[in-house]
Chain A
Amino acid sequence: MRVNFTVNGRKQEADDVWEGESLLYVLRERMGLPGSKNACEQGECGSCTVRLDGVPVCSCLVAAGQAEGREVVTVEGLADYARHRDDAHPGTGCAAGTCGTSLDAAQRWQARPTDGQSAEAAELSPVQQAFIDAGAVQCGFCTPGLLVAADELLETQPSPSDQDIREALSGNLCRCTGYEKILDAVRLAAARQEETVR
């Protein structure tokens, strides 16, 4: 079957999709976006987390056909997504009712074109930078899913408690770090975000 959806702001089309394929497979194997990871393919590890119409989901458990006409944001588009959000809600101060990215806003958002050559052209989102700075990346296989989940947490809850961070990331397994530096990274991103607001 054919499937059309928008990924990181760009319309994409996949042909000859087997009906049992997951959104994860289509992203990785048909659209050249292997950033979302295939660690368990049973919804237990969160490595494949993407935003589907703004909502964090395990893309391994979304049938490709279910993504038809939807908006998908993957780790590859996270920096642009975050930048757009900052433009839409400067500082993410998040008064009641303005938290999060609305579906409407998500659909209006467009990724900047890149030439695919210059890795340094990719400016990082605050969460991405914080993961590097805090030493939250080791093998890195869990990182994309964690970044998407953590970015959404800070979008809806700019100053989460440690327990809030733990709860929000409880669907993302990491085998390397023991999670301490991941907590540090999210705290760091939250603190930097607050400084920006001030």
Chain B
Amino acid sequence: MDFLRPASWEEALAAKAEHPTAVPIAGGTDVMVEINFDHRRPEYLMDLNRIGELSEWQVGPDAVRLGASVPYSAVMEHLRAELPGLALASHTVASPQIRNRGGVGGNLGTASPAGDAHPALLAAGAEVEAASVRGTRMIPIDDFYTGVKRNALAPDELIRAVHIKKADGPQQYSKVGTRNAMVIAVCAFGLALHPETRTVRTGIGSAAPTPVRAREAEEFLNAALEEGGFWESGKIITPSVAKQFAQLAAGACNPIDDVRGTAAYRRHAVGIMARRTLGWTWEQYRGAGRTLEGAA
């Protein structure tokens, strides 16, 4: 095994071009587990910690450009207003120690369906800034996840940043685990209201081979909210609408049975979380929501 220590982004891209099998390591919270447990012996480990810009973020007019290595704890602390869904998701990641090291770039690179950030990114709307010596491209988050632990990156590409749309309305995030902290998702659900476009976006984690959006549920809800004039009136969403939305969200799942939970439970739980997160965001939208302590 070789340890590569690029001092700059350009050096990192050059190294990745030269050694496409090189495994980038930033927070180490995925890679080191695989090495410690002898699940992986990469030919090259490439440390990205030396590249300061990866731990920085810029808040633009429409989006936040979040460096790939910005730790979850920084998202929780500094970007709650701009990225409320991701901040809530960040707060569910493992433990304080892990949140101090891990970042969204790693979640995207690993592309595990159970990654905590994915549903929030899908719901908010985001683009992944992927770069190689050949140049930089923006990959829409909807096109990023291509299979179980597979993503749209080319072998010579690295994730430099994620551009996440700034919240234009309330966002929520829920995750089911069988412990009250430090737990991998049995399944997760993110929901963002976008009042500017009068749309709702969702993200489902750990209930399909990849993170997915509940598109039918979104389309149904968008239509129902539009037709009922809910956006203007801010009235309470009809229970039957919420129920149908939840059912469609559950239907968007394609889960498996594993040691963490059954497929049937995952589908059921996603439906419950869809209904609840819709309720919470809508209450916030109406200006009647309770504040949250302990959540990000």
Assess whether A98 is interfacial by the CB under 8 Å rule: no
From 42 to 69 in chain A, residues with beta carbon under 8 angstroms from any chain B beta carbon are 42-44, 46, 49, 55-58, 60-63, 65-66, 68
Q: Which residues of A contact B49 (CB under 8 A)?
A: 66
From 12 to 59 in chain A, residues with beta carbon under 8 angstroms from any chain B beta carbon are 18-20, 22, 41-44, 46, 49, 55-58
Q: Which residues of B contact A171 (CB under 8 A)?
A: 94-98, 181-182
Interface contact B101-A62, CB-CB below 8 Å = yes
Q: Which residues of B contact A55 (CB under 8 A)?
A: 100-101
Interface contact B1-A43, CB-CB below 8 Å = no
Interface contact A65-B3, CB-CB below 8 Å = yes
Q: Which residues of B contact A172 (CB under 8 A)?
A: 95
Q: Which residues of B contact A57 (CB under 8 A)?
A: 97, 100-101
Interface contact A149-B97, CB-CB below 8 Å = yes
Q: Find B97's partner among A22, A49, A66, A167 (CB 8 Å cutoff).
A: A49
Assess whether B156 is interfacial by the CB under 8 Å rule: no
Interface contact B182-A170, CB-CB below 8 Å = yes
Assess whether A114 is interfacial by the CB under 8 Å rule: no
Assess whether B222 is interfacial by the CB under 8 Å rule: no
Q: Which residues of B contact A49 (CB under 8 A)?
A: 97
Which stretch from B23-31, B199-207, B278-286 is at the chain A interface?
B23-31
B36 to chain A, nearest CB (A): 4
| Proximity string of chain A (68-100) to chain B, C-beta cutoff 8 Å, 1 when within and 0 when not | 100000000000000000000000000000000
A129 to chain B, nearest CB (A): 23
Q: Find B32's partner among A62, A68, A149, A163 (CB 8 Å cutoff).
A: A62
Interface contact B36-A41, CB-CB below 8 Å = yes
Interface contact A61-B95, CB-CB below 8 Å = no
Quick one: which of B25, B49, B95, B100 has the most chain A CB within 10 A? B95
Bound complex: CA of A19 vs CA of B1, how far in Å?
6
From 13 to 61 in chain B, residues with beta carbon under 8 angstroms from any chain A beta carbon are 25, 27-29, 31-33, 35-37, 41, 45, 47, 49
| Proximity string of chain B (95-108) to chain A, C-beta cutoff 8 Å, 1 when within and 0 when not | 11110110000000
B68 to chain A, nearest CB (A): 15
Q: Find A61's partner among B5, B45, B101 (CB 8 Å cutoff).
A: B101
Q: Which residues of A contact B5 (CB under 8 A)?
A: 65, 68
Interface contact B37-A63, CB-CB below 8 Å = no
Q: How large is the interface on B (under 10, 10 to 19, 20 to 34, 35 or more residues)?
A: 20 to 34
| Proximity string of chain A (146-174) to chain B, C-beta cutoff 8 Å, 1 when within and 0 when not | 00010000000000000100011011100
Interface contact A43-B3, CB-CB below 8 Å = no
A42 to chain B, nearest CB (A): 5
Assess whether A139 is interfacial by the CB under 8 Å rule: no
Bound complex: CA of A43 vs CA of B183, how far in Å?
11
Quick one: which of A22, A43, A49, A68 has the most chain B CB within 10 A? A43
A-B contact pairs, 24 of them (CB 8 A): A1-B3, A19-B2, A20-B1, A20-B35, A42-B36, A42-B37, A43-B29, A43-B94, A43-B95, A43-B97, A44-B95, A46-B95, A58-B101, A60-B32, A60-B36, A61-B28, A61-B33, A63-B25, A63-B45, A68-B5, A163-B294, A168-B96, A170-B182, A171-B95
Having A44-B94, A167-B181, one finds 10 other A-B pairs with CB under 8 Å, namely: A20-B1, A44-B182, A46-B95, A56-B96, A57-B101, A61-B28, A61-B29, A63-B25, A65-B5, A171-B94
